[in-house]
Amino acid sequence: MGSLERSKKKTQVWKKAVIHFSLCFVMGFFTGFAPAGKASLFSNFETTPSTTSKSQIPPHPSENSTYTPNSLADKALVSSQVQAPSPSKSQEAEPENRSLSETEEEVTPRGLVIVVTPVMTKDRYKNVLLRRMANTLRLVPPPLLWIVVEKHSEADVNSSSTMLRKTGLMYRRIVFKENFTSLEAELDHQRNLALRHIEHHKLSGIVHFAGLNNIYDLDFFDEIRDIEVFGTWPMALLSANRKRVIVEGPVCESSQVLGWHLRKINNETETKPPVHISSFAFNSSILWDPERWGRPSSVEGTKQDSIKYVKQVVLEDDTKLKGLPAQDCSKVMLWRLNFPTRTRFST
């Protein structure tokens, strides 16, 4: 009896296993013939953040059908689909053309302004005036290169270098060791050193000699960027111990220079051909490529006395001089302040 009961139990177990297997096989067989596009029973339980099941996306409303959203998200999706028509080709092209034109205007580069400032050895206010000039140049839009020329001094080397570094300006400091008894000779030597540096490194830009006692209108630097060869402008001369103003500069018709004069406050006019060193600027390429501007390539004494050569070229070639501002050279954008001679040297 015991053996018969055990055989019956084994038979029942095998029958259950066969029935189970058959049911699973039939289910899998018919499931394979089901369409792939239909959502399964478990589609509502998908939680993958990177994909969204089709049952969660409402159908796109057509012209002849209506769809009632059941949630705020469905309403937002329907409104974005209905109220955002596709832009036409002309509407797409207009922003692209507008962005291209704006980019071209922004990319237009400014010309480099090279400001040369000689520092007089015996000027006891040189550190104050140098800092004032630095504060002015910091307001000028780049690119701008400031070349400072001064005599080497152990006492001033650290203070000058530290001050120049803190300005945030692009600068080059040139020092010399020669001694001079004449103030004009020292200033010409400093300017020649700066011009040789510009020529040696072929620094391309508009060169302007800025004395420490010059006072500028910021529009001045925008005007001189447009100079092609030479440019000149009126300059007001102020004296601390005299109650008068002298305006020195070119006589212009539009931007063409017709002559030179000194205009005093009482409207007296005095002809003065020589040009002040701060009242003109020039294209630096005249130093290393004079043939480009119709000048001989080799002139005696050019390397030794560059500033004399530049002054000579400016006075000889009036046709290439451009008066600034371009209207009639009447606006004063540069003032030169002379301090009393007993307190400091004038430049």
CB 119 within 8 A of CB 130: yes
Reading the chain (347 residues) residue by residue, the pLDDT tens digits are 556 666 777 777 778 888 888 888 878 877 777 665 544 444 444 444 444 444 444 444 444 444 444 444 444 443 444 344 455 555 555 555 555 455 555 567 899 999 999 999 888 889 899 999 999 999 999 999 999 999 988 766 678 888 999 999 999 999 999 999 999 999 999 999 999 999 999 999 999 999 999 999 999 999 999 999 999 999 998 887 777 888 888 888 888 888 887 654 444 444 445 688 999 999 999 998 888 877 776 555 556 688 888 888 887 777 788 999 988 888 999 999 987 654 444 44
Distance, first Cα to last Cα, the chain: 135
Q: What angle do CA 138, 143, 145 make, to 5 degrees?
A: 70
Tokens 């478990």, residue? 42
Provide long-range contacts, Cβ within 8 A and 24+ apart, for 293-302. Answer: 293/229, 293/320
Q: At what angle do helices 154-167 and 126-137 cross, to 10 degrees?
A: 20
For position 84, what pLDDT does the model report?
44
* CB-facing half-sphere around the CA of 278: CA atoms within 13 A: 23
For position 284, what pLDDT does the model report?
95
For position 58, what pLDDT does the model report?
44
Tell how strand 144-151 and strand 113-118 pair up.
parallel
Domains of the chain: 113-227+275-319 (3.90.550.10)
pTM here? 0.66
Specify the DSSP element, H or E, that contains 151: strand 144-151
* CB-facing half-sphere around the CA of 83: CA atoms within 13 A: 6
What the block records as the tokens of 289 is 């490529």
| Dist. CA 186–CA 179, nearest whole Å | 8
Residue 219 DSSP SS3:
helix
Tokens 């009482």, residue? 266
What the block records as the tokens of 58 is 């409402």
